[in-house]
C-alpha cells in the first residue's frame, strides 16, 4: 500500500510539473491575463439561435437536453454577479434570455468564506433552481495549482470507503450554505409543491454543488433532484463516485474543449482506488470540423474518448471561462473585498430596505444574519 501511495505522489508531482508549465505567472498587481492556448480560428464557441447543435450519444440511451442546459448555464453565470439588488430583482445583465421570469426567493452570502448562492423558482421549467458561485477574485491560477496536490482526505459520513476533498465538502457542509439552501428549498416546496430541484455551479461552485445536490437527494429523494455542473473538478474517490451515481442519477457534468479544471485533482487509471474519480454523466462540448458538438460520454465518469482524450500539454485555463457560448466568470474580481467594505449588518439592512422598496419577497442570508422581508 505504501508503494502505491508513493507511486501516486510521484505521478502527481509529474503532473504538477507539466501543468505548472502551462500556467503563466500573474504579473505584479494581480492584473488579469489570458491563460492557456487559444482555440483555433474555426472554433464555434456558441450555437446560433436557428442552428441545431450536433449532439452525439455514442450509442448511449442517455438523452442530453440542449435547451435545458443552455438555460442552466445562464444561472451558473448569473450567480457570479456582484450587484445583489439586480440579482434579487432579476434585472442583472445576465438575467435574461432563457431565464426570463425567474423568481429569486433567497440570496445567500457567506462573507467569511467568500461564498455566494441563490435559490429561486423557474416557472418555465417548473423547477427550483439552486446556483452556487465558483472561484472569486484573482485566484484561479493559484487554485488550479493547489488542486494538483490535493488528496482524498475525508471519509464521507455513512458511506463506507468513500473519501472526498475536505475543502469542497466543508465549503458546503460547514458554512452558511447548507442550512440556508435547505431551508430555502423547503420553503419553496411548500409554496410550489414537489417540483424538480436543479442544482448548478461552475468550477469550485460545481464541486460545492455536488455535495449540495447529494444532501438534497438524501433529504428530499432522488426522483426530482438534478445536478448540472460546468467545468467542475473531481471531488472524491471511486467509492464516492459510485455512491453519488446511485443517489443522484440525474446528473450532467458539462466539460468544454480543453478546460483544465475537470482534469484536477489528477486521476490515475492504474491506481483507480487511491485517486480521485469523476462520477457520471459527462457531456463534452468540443469542436469537430468547425462545428460545436456535444458528446454524451459513457457511464464510467472517466470516458477516455471524451475530455480525457485531451493530452495534458494542451489543457487550457481559458477554456474554463466559457460554456455553451456563455461567459462564466466574476463581473468584478474583488467581490469579497467589496462586501467586506461595509459591515455585514449594514449590508443586510441595506438589502432589506431595497427589497422592501421593490415589493419583492426575498430572504437575504448573510453570514449568520438572516433578514426576511415579507
Q: Bin 140: left if φ > 0, else alpha if -120 < ψ < 50, else beta.
A: alpha
> 158-209: per-residue pLDDT in tens?
899 899 998 889 889 999 999 999 999 999 999 998 899 999 999 999 999 9
Is the Cβ–Cβ distance between 265 and 150 less than 8 Å? yes
- Identify the three-state secondary structure at position 267: coil
Dihedral angle at the C-alpha atoms of 268, 303, 19, 239, nearest 10 degrees? Answer: -40
Q: For the residues 338-344, what does the mean pLDDT come to?
A: 44
79 band by pLDDT with thresholds 50, 70 and 90: very high
Is the Cβ–Cβ distance between 201 and 209 less than 8 Å? yes
Q: Is 283 exposed, middle or buried (0-12, 13-18, 19+ CB in 10 A)?
A: buried
| Total-model pTM | 0.80
Respond yes or no: is residue 320 known to be catalytic: yes
Respond yes or no: is residue 226 known to be catalytic: no
> 113-155: per-residue pLDDT in tens?
888 999 999 999 999 999 999 876 555 555 665 565 566 677 8
62 band by pLDDT with thresholds 50, 70 and 90: low
Place of cell 492557456: 36
pLDDT, position 52: 57
**Extents of the domains making up the chain:** 2-24+51-372
> 243-252: per-residue pLDDT in tens?
999 999 999 9
> Between residues 303 and 139, which one has the greater pLDDT?
303
Respond yes or no: is residue 203 known to be catalytic: yes
pLDDT, position 8: 39
| Active-site hit among 202, 286, 320, 363 | 320
Sheet holding 54-56, edge to edge: 54-56, 291-296, 282-288, 251-256, 225-230, 196-202, 127-132, 115-122, 103-110, 363-366, 369-372
Among the four given CATH numbers 3.20.20.70, 3.40.190.10, 3.40.50.1820, 3.30.1060.10, the one describing domain 2-24+51-372: 3.40.50.1820
Q: How far is CA 90 from the centre of its chain?
A: 20
| Active-site hit among 122, 259, 319, 363 | 259
pLDDT, position 340: 40
Place of cell 453570514: 367
Amino acid at each position: 500500500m505504501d508503494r502505491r501511495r508513493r507511486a501516486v505522489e510521484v505521478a502527481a508531482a509529474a503532473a504538477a510539473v507539466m501543468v505548472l508549465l502551462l500556467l503563466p505567472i500573474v504579473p505584479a498587481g494581480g492584473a488579469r491575463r489570458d491563460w492557456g492556448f487559444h482555440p483555433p480560428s474555426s472554433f464555434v464557441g456558441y450555437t446560433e439561435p436557428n442552428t441545431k447543435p450536433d449532439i452525439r450519444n455514442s450509442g448511449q440511451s442517455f438523452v442530453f437536453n440542449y435547451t435545458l442546459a443552455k438555460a442552466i448555464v445562464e444561472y451558473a453565470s448569473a450567480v457570479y454577479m456582484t450587484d445583489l439588488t439586480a440579482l434579487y430583482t432579476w434585472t442583472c445583465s445576465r438575467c435574461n434570455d432563457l431565464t426570463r421570469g425567474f423568481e429569486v426567493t433567497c440570496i445567500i452570502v457567506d462573507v467569511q468564506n467568500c461564498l455566494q448562492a441563490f435559490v429561486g423558482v423557474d416557472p418555465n421549467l417548473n423547477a427550483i433552481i439552486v446556483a452556487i458561485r465558483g472561484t472569486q477574485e484573482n485566484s484561479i491560477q493559484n487554485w488550479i495549482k493547489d488542486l494538483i496536490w490535493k488528496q482524498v482526505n475525508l471519509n464521507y459520513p455513512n458511506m463506507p470507503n468513500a473519501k472526498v476533498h475536505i475543502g469542497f465538502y466543508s465549503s458546503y457542509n460547514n458554512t452558511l450554505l447548507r442550512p440556508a439552501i435547505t431551508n430555502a428549498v423547503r420553503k419553496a416546496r411548500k409554496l410550489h409543491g414537489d417540483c424538480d430541484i436543479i442544482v448548478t455551479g461552475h468550477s469550485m461552485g460545481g464541486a460545492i454543488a455536488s455535495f449540495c445536490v447529494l444532501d438534497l437527494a438524501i433529504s428530499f429523494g432522488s426522483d426530482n433532484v438534478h445536478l448540472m455542473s460546468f467545468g467542475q473538478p473531481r471531488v472524491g474517490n471511486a467509492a464516492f463516485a459510485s455512491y453519488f451515481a446511485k443517489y443522484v442519477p440525474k446528473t450532467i457534468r458539462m466539460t468544454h474543449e480543453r478546460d483544465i479544471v475537470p482534469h484536477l485533482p489528477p486521476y490515475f487509471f492504474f491506481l483507480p482506488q487511491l485517486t480521485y474519480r469523476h462520477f457520471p454523466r459527462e457531456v463534452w462540448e468540443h469542436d469537430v470540423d468547425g462545428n460545436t458538438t456535444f458528446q454524451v460520454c459513457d457511464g464510467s465518469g472517466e470516458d477516455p474518448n471524451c475530455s480525457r482524450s485531451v493530452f495534458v500539454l494542451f489543457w487550457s485555463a481559458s477554456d474554463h471561462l466559457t460554456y455553451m457560448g456563455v461567459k462564466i466568470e466574476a463581473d468584478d474580481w474583488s467581490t469579497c473585498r467589496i462586501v467586506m467594505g461595509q459591515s455585514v449588518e449594514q449590508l443586510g439592512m441595506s438589502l432589506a430596505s431595497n427589497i422592501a422598496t421593490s415589493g419583492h419577497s426575498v430572504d437575504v442570508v448573510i453570514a449568520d444574519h438572516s433578514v426576511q422581508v415579507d
